[in-house]
Every structure is written in structure tokens, then in C-alpha cells.
Structure 1
Amino acid sequence: MTLVLPPDMEAFLCDYLRDHITDVDGLQVGSKKPHDYQGAYPLVTVRDDGGDADGLGQFDRTIGVNVYGWSRQDEKPCKTLARRVYAVLTEHPAIALAEHSPITAVDDQQCNGPYPVSDDSDTAHYYLIVEYSTIGEH
């Protein structure tokens, strides 16, 4: 029996963003926000929130993306970066055709954002959601 695993969307999308947004000084991309992060550099975090599976190796994946950086007094650079991240992650067919991509389709109707997040930090923060149809890993 061959097991089919859900794709590692966090790893794929972090690498994809690093490869496609190369002109933002100091940009860091990962799956977790460092506990001591204070906004000194722009940061994008990618989280796979899971989704449905069809039992035949296809998976729907909902991805939550946080974009942090700069300050609340000057949110424009963070908002601009969040809009670029959204555009890169929803650009089809490019993302589905990328090398090693598990993505078969972008579900545009389930994507939304970016929108500002209010929290206690002085760092600007935007959030967006993208959803994909994917194939699993053998």
C-alpha cells in the first residue's frame, strides 16, 4: 500500500516567496514569527490551516499568511508588501507550473485580504488567506 501525504505547503510557499520577492531589503520568510520579533525587518509567515481531502491524493489547503514590518505610524510599506505577497501567491498558472509545485489550482473565491490586523504591537501587520487545490506526496 502506498501512502499519500498532504503536501508540505509551508515549505513550498516559503521557498516560492523567497524566490519571487527578492527586492525587499532584509525580508525574512518562514512558518513562525520569532518570539522576540519587534519589526526591525520585514517578515512573512506562512501557515497551512489544512482542508478537505478526497481520498485519492488530492487535498484542499487553506493558507494563512501574516506580513509584518515597519511601524503602525507608517503602514504603507507593509501594506504594499502584503499586496505583493497576495499577488505572487495567487498568480496562476505560474504558481501551479513552478518546479516541484503541489498546486493544481488557486481557488480565487476562497482567497481574501490583505487586511490590517490590530494588536498591541507597534509593528504594522497585515493578514491574507489563499486557498489551493493540491496533490499529495507519495
Structure 2
Amino acid sequence: MTMVMPPDLELWICTYLRAQLADVSGLKVSNREPDDYSGSVPLIVVRDDGGSQSDRLLFDRSVGVTVRYGPRNSPKKCRDLAARVYGLLTDPSVCLVEGSPIAGISEDGCNGPYAVAEDADIARFYMVFEFSAVGTVENTEI
């Protein structure tokens, strides 16, 4: 029997962004925001919002990405990092990276980065991506 599981896009995108943004000093990339985050270092949070299975091996996935960094009244560094993240995740070559589960980018489903107003004095930008992604295939024996 062959089992197809949805890809772990959060893990893959976090790993990919860490490698591509290795030049960003102090950068943290995760699938959740630390409780004690102060805004003193750049932070990227990746969240897979799920989606449907469009084919035996393909999954339609919506992914939200938040970038936080620096004071809210001085958002330039945060916005520039968010724009760079957007560029990396909408570049068609992301589908060709070794090990990438991303098979296609739905360009009309990619939006942002948008400034997000909040109470904390930390700049925040948010963006959304829609991908077609290849599931993980496992052979199982009964």
C-alpha cells in the first residue's frame, strides 16, 4: 500500500529561508513566535494554513509569512526583509531547489507584504503565498 502525506511546507520553507538569508545578522526563522520576542533581532514566522489535495500527489497549500523587526515607527528594515522574503518565495526557481516540495506557485494567490498594525512597538509585515506542493510518498505494509 502507498500512503501520500501532505508536505511539511513550514519546515522546508523555514530551512530554505535560513539558508537564503544567512547574511541577515541575528535572523530567527520559525513556525511560531517566541513568547519573549522583543523585536531586537529579525524574525520570520512561517505558517501553513493548509488546503485541498488536488491530485493523488499534489496539494494546494496557502502559507502565511510574518516578518517582524525593529520599532513600529521605523519599519524600513522590516519592510525590506519582507520584500526579500516575498521575492524568494515567488521566484519560480524555488520549485527547482533540491528537495523542494513546491511544484508550482499560484501567482494570483500571492499577496503582500502588508504592514500590520498592532499594540506592540515592533514593525510587522505579513504576506500570503499559494503553492502546489508534492506530498511525501511512503510505502506501507499491512
May I ask how many residue pairs the two structures share in their alignment?
A: 137
Provide, for residues 28-47 of structure 1, a one-character-per-residue CA deviation record: whole Å limited to 9, x for no partner: 10100001111010000000
TM-score, normalised with respect to structure 2:
0.94
Q: Does 1:82 align with 2:82?
A: yes
User: Structure 1: which 5+ residue stretches go unaligned?
Assistant: none
Partner SS, residue 3 of structure 1 = strand
Partner SS, residue 4 of structure 1 = strand
For residues 78 and 23 of structure 2, the distance between their equivalents in structure 1, rounded to whole angstroms, comes to 14
Matches within 5 A, 1:34-53: 34-53=34-53
Provide, for residues 101-127 of structure 1, a one-character-per-residue CA deviation record: whole Å limited to 9, x for no partner: 111111100000000011111000000
For residues 70 and 25 of structure 1, the distance between their equivalents in structure 2, rounded to whole angstroms, comes to 13
For residues 54 and 48 of structure 1, the distance between their equivalents in structure 2, rounded to whole angstroms, comes to 16
User: Structure 2: which 5+ residue stretches go unaligned?
Assistant: 138-142
Larger Rg: 2
Q: CA deviation at 1:55?
A: 4.5
Aligned-residue identity in percent: 45
For residues 107 and 128 of structure 1, the distance between their equivalents in structure 2, rounded to whole angstroms, comes to 14
For residues 40 and 21 of structure 2, the distance between their equivalents in structure 1, rounded to whole angstroms, comes to 18
Amino acid at match of 1:102: P
For residues 58 and 105 of structure 1, the distance between their equivalents in structure 2, rounded to whole angstroms, comes to 10
Provide, for residues 25-69 of structure 1, a one-character-per-residue CA deviation record: whole Å limited to 9, x for no partner: 111101000011110100000000001102512100100000001
Please give the root-mean-square deviation of Cα atoms over the aligned residues, in Å: 0.8
Q: Which residue of 2 aligns with 1:135?
A: 134
TM-score, normalised with respect to structure 1:
0.97
